[in-house]
Amino acid sequence: MTDSTSLVLAVALSAAAAMSAPSQTCLNYEPAVVTLTGKLTIGAFAGRPNYEDTLKGDEPEHPFILRLDRTVCVQADSSSELNNESERDVREVQVIVTSDSVSVSRALEGHRIQVTGSLVHAHTAHHHTKVLIWARVLRAA
């Protein structure tokens, strides 16, 4: 096999692999409504006052985290002060639930679920993933 034949074959194989790889789903921030599927877990993070270490006196925070079945990307919204950053390869999102749905969420912990709601970008120290979802509906998948 000549060097030029090897190069052509390598380029063809790379192109075929790129075409067969699943493309990442890109979503939009609020007010768009999206549905995400994954496993619901409860995280453990350091909270007030320093958001650094619970062993040094910071309060623990235990937000709901959805580990997605597939990574997604989220498009920046240039008209939004809070949602103006794009994110790629998002694998986990923090799930924000109403006080009325906390018990339902706890019952779904450890299970594969679907969450329907609107995405927002993290903007406080209480946000533990780059992208969060304001949950409207949670249900078993």
Report d(CA 42, CA 38) in Å as an integer. Answer: 13
Ranges 9-18, 55-64, 125-134, most confident: 125-134
Q: For residue 130, give the DSSP letter.
A: S
Q: Is the pLDDT of residue 39 over 60?
A: yes
Q: Is residue 11 part of a domain?
A: no
Q: Is residue 13 part of a domain?
A: no
Its pTM stands at 0.79
Residue 120's domain comprises 23-140
pLDDT for 16 beyond 60: no
Report if residue 10 sits inside a domain: no
Query: Domain holding 89: CATH number?
Result: 2.40.50
pLDDT band of 22, cuts 50, 70, 90: low
d(CA 48, CA 61): 9
Domain count, the chain: 1
Residue 24: pLDDT above 60? Answer: yes
Domain presence at residue 80 = yes
Amino acid 108: pLDDT: 92
Does some domain include residue 71? yes
For residue 16, tell me if it sits in a domain: no
